[in-house]
Amino acid sequence: MGAAVVTGAASGIGRATCVALASSGHEVIVATYPGDPHDPQLTVDAVTADGGDAHIIEVDVRDSAQVDRLMAEADERCGGIDVVVANAGILRDSPLSDLTDERWDEMLQVDLTGVLRTLRSARPRMNAGGSMIAVSSIAGAVYGWPDHAHYATAKAGMIGLVRSLAVELAPDITVNTVVPGIIETPQSLDPVNSLGPEGLKAIAASIPAGRVGVPEDIAALINFLASTGARYITGQAIVVDGGYTVRLPV
């Protein structure tokens, strides 16, 4: 079995995804930004504790050459790539009055163009029957989010990218988007740029499932989309939110 490359893999959804894919027999490439404050070795430890195999490769998805090196090393190490999960992303609070060109470009370079670079570089090294999965958000994919127009734009744009690639790369490769709802991760726990602990606690009562999601809820779907059981699913944006976006507003 070839590699499963996961970007943004040092924590949260990325870490849980590495563990899930390793449990299915994939050799996991823990792709992480060197400036990430979270320790990617903890992801490796979680994978190996579950009996899997993982390797850390540093990458900045804003740099095409670095992404190319990531995929080349994954290919060489594992004999091809079976799965690529474009999960690397940043989150910054910025009202429109403060949304400079620089802030806009920084967000899209990581959260949208970084996804393009990841999928584009993986494609020539992917084994037939492989899976590409991008991680979006209900912010942009479903809802607007005040003070986060750049983030929501990137996450919405990802869906158009994935739908187009699904048609272009069929039938050899499936390409899908996972759209997380309110998930407790280091990113969402940030009280400055996101909801913070109190915000997550307050919103839990609005979720039909009765709780905020955990990274493993998202990783389970990613693992399925990477499996042979999902071979007829492509070009889809699948929301995982405990029913949050379909509840009747009150």
pLDDT tens digit sequence for 87-120: 999 999 999 999 999 999 999 999 999 999 999 9
pLDDT tens digit sequence for 130-168: 999 999 999 999 999 999 999 999 999 999 999 999 999
- Per-residue pLDDT band for 193 (boundaries 50, 70, 90) equals confident
Predicted local distance difference test score (pLDDT) of residue 189:
83
Residue 9 placed within a domain: yes
Burial class (CB in 10 A: 0-12, 13-18, 19+), 63: middle
- With a pLDDT cut of 90, the percent of the chain lying above it is 90
Predicted local distance difference test score (pLDDT) of residue 30:
98
Residue 205 placed within a domain: no
CA 242 to each of CA 64, 172, 205: distance values in angstroms, whole numbers, following the listed order: 36, 32, 11
Predicted local distance difference test score (pLDDT) of residue 84:
98
| Cα–Cα distance measured from residue 33 to residue 183, given in angstroms and rounded to the nearest whole number | 21
Residue 200 placed within a domain: no
Q: Looking at residue 115, which CATH number applies to its domain? A: 3.40.50.720
The region, left, alpha or beta by phi > 0 then psi within -120 to 50, assigned to residue 23 is alpha
The per-residue pLDDT of the chain, averaged, comes to: 95
- Residue pair 200/188 in contact by the 8 Å Cβ criterion: yes
Tokens 């996961």: give the residue: 6
Average pLDDT over residues 168-180: 98
Total domains, the chain = 1
| Cα–Cα distance measured from residue 80 to residue 73, given in angstroms and rounded to the nearest whole number | 10
Residue 12 placed within a domain: yes
Check pLDDT > 80 for residue 250.
Answer: no
Residue 245 placed within a domain: no
Catalytic residue positions, numbered: 151, 155
- Per-residue pLDDT band for 190 (boundaries 50, 70, 90) equals confident
Q: Which of 130, 5, 135 is nearest to 58 (CA)?
A: 5
| Cα–Cα distance measured from residue 117 to residue 62, given in angstroms and rounded to the nearest whole number | 8
Predicted local distance difference test score (pLDDT) of residue 1:
77
Residue 26 placed within a domain: yes
Predicted local distance difference test score (pLDDT) of residue 196:
84
- Residue pair 165/225 in contact by the 8 Å Cβ criterion: no
Residue 104 placed within a domain: yes
- More confident of the two residues 186 and 7: 7
- Residue pair 179/222 in contact by the 8 Å Cβ criterion: no
Lowest mean pLDDT across 52-61, 198-207, 228-237: 198-207
Predicted local distance difference test score (pLDDT) of residue 20:
98
Residue 190 placed within a domain: no
Predicted local distance difference test score (pLDDT) of residue 161:
98
Predicted local distance difference test score (pLDDT) of residue 185:
86
Domain that holds residue 44: 3-185+214-240
Alpha helices in 79-214 (DSSP H): 101-111, 113-122, 138-141, 149-169, 196-204
